[in-house]
Structure formats: structure tokens, C-alpha cells
């Protein structure tokens, strides 16, 4: 489908999680808005990588309005919801949610989006805090191992000398040693520290 018409479109996005569930109830609710085009799919909302969602977001143009029954049809997480709203907003497309009685183009709608953003930041800060607390407890109990330290490859010394005497580039050294660039230069830093301390 392509949005070739010059007139602005009213677009509906309908989603259910499984094939057994019926999309008709959502369709009935959204019909009252005089929908021009429907995008429907039976898929989980675990992420934003959904064929009809992506097709809908590609289809809409500036001035269009996307209608949904409620936020849970669009996304399962605050993060994904905010990402979708931002993408639509960047295209000049507004979002109307029937259940939440929200229109992103109104002052009330914009305030609600700001609040959702604050909730997401709060959730994220809490998650990071819990991770930090968990690590602190694990360290105290001697259970925290941290990231497994990467060992230098057996041919490190030979390749390091070739690199330091400019016989090979850093990129080539990484290829031979099968190391990521940042890991290679971390080893170089360690090597120089050892030489300096020695």
C-alpha cells in the first residue's frame, strides 16, 4: 500500500497477540473515526519489529492521523511506545488512542507523552539502581565474578612487536589475533604499562 492520495488519511493500526484472537472488536471501535486505511496483524508486541506496524509507519504522511484502540495494541513497553510516537511525530503524524482518550497533537496529549517519558526514565533509573545493588550484594557475598577477562592470544608478543615496529597496521593485527579493536588497544595499554613499570 502507498499513500499516494493528496488528502490526509485516517489510518488504523489493529493488533492481537494470537491467531485465535478476533480483530473485529477493535475494528468496530475504530470505525467511528471514519478510517481510510487499516493495518492489521496477529503478532506479539514484544518489540517494534512487526511487519504491519513497520508498513503503517512507512505508509503515513504529514497530516495523517493514526488511530489505535489502546496503547497496548501499539507497544508493550514504555520505551517502544515512546519510540513509535517520536517516529510518527517526526513525520508530522498524530496519534489518537481511543481507550486513553489521547491525541498527541493536543496540549493534554503532549503533556501525557512528557509524563510517559518521565516514567520511562524513572523505570530505567530504578532498573540500573537495582542492578547496582545486586552487584554490591553479590560482591559482598563473594559471588560476583564480573565480566570474564579476555586472555591475550598465544601469538600476542610476536604480533605486538610487528605492530609496534609498524610492519603491520592495527587493523591487520586485530584480524590476525581475532580481537576487537578496543580489546587490542586495551592490551596495548597494558603492555605499555608493564614496560613503563618494569
Query: Nearest to residue 78, comparing CAs of 42, 110, 123?
Result: 123
Using one digit for the tens of pLDDT, what is the confidence trace for 148-186?
A: 667 888 898 888 888 888 889 999 999 999 998 888 988
Q: Give dist(CA 26, CA 13) in Å, integer.
A: 9
Using one digit for the tens of pLDDT, what is the confidence trace for 101-157?
A: 989 999 998 898 888 878 877 777 777 788 887 777 777 777 766 666 678 888 988
164 annotated active-site: no
| Single pTM value for the model | 0.60
Architecture of domain 10-116: 3-Layer(aba) Sandwich (3.40)
Spell out the domain ranges in the chain: 10-116, 156-197
Beta bridge partners of 11: 37, 66
Query: Which residues neighbour 41 within 8 Å (Cβ) at sequence distance 6 or greater?
Result: 14, 15, 50, 51, 52, 53
Active-site pick, 17, 25, 154, 164:
17
Amino acid at each position: 500500500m502507498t499513500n499516494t492520495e493528496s488528502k490526509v488519511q485516517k489510518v488504523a493500526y489493529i493488533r492481537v497477540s494470537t491467531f485465535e484472537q478476533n480483530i473485529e472488536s477493535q475494528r468496530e471501535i475504530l470505525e467511528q473515526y471514519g478510517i481510510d486505511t487499516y493495518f492489521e496483524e496477529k503478532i506479539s508486541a514484544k518489540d517494534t519489529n512487526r511487519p504491519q506496524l513497520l508498513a503503517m509507519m512507512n505508509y503515513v504522511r504529514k497530516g495523517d492521523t493514526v488511530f489505535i484502540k489502546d496503547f497496548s495494541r501499539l507497544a508493550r513497553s514504555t520505551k517502544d511506545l515512546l519510540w513509535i510516537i517520536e517516529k510518527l511525530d517526526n513525520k508530522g503524524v498524530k496519534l489518537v488512542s481511543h481507550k486513553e482518550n489521547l491525541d498527541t497533537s493536543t496540549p493534554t496529549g503532549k503533556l501525557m507523552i512528557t509524563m510517559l517519558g518521565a516514567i520511562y526514565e524513572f523505570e530505567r533509573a530504578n532498573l540500573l539502581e537495582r542492578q547496582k545493588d545486586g552487584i554490591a550484594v553479590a560482591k559482598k557475598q563473594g559471588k560476583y565474578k564480573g565480566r570474564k577477562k579476555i586472555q591475550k592470544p598465544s601469538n600476542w608478543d610476536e604480533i605486538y612487536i610487528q605492530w609496534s615496529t609498524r610492519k603491520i597496521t592495527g587493523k591487520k593485527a586485530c584480524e590476525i589475533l581475532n580481537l576487537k579493536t578496543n580489546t587490542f588497544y586495551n592490551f596495548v595499554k597494558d603492555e605499555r604499562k608493564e614496560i613503563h613499570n618494569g
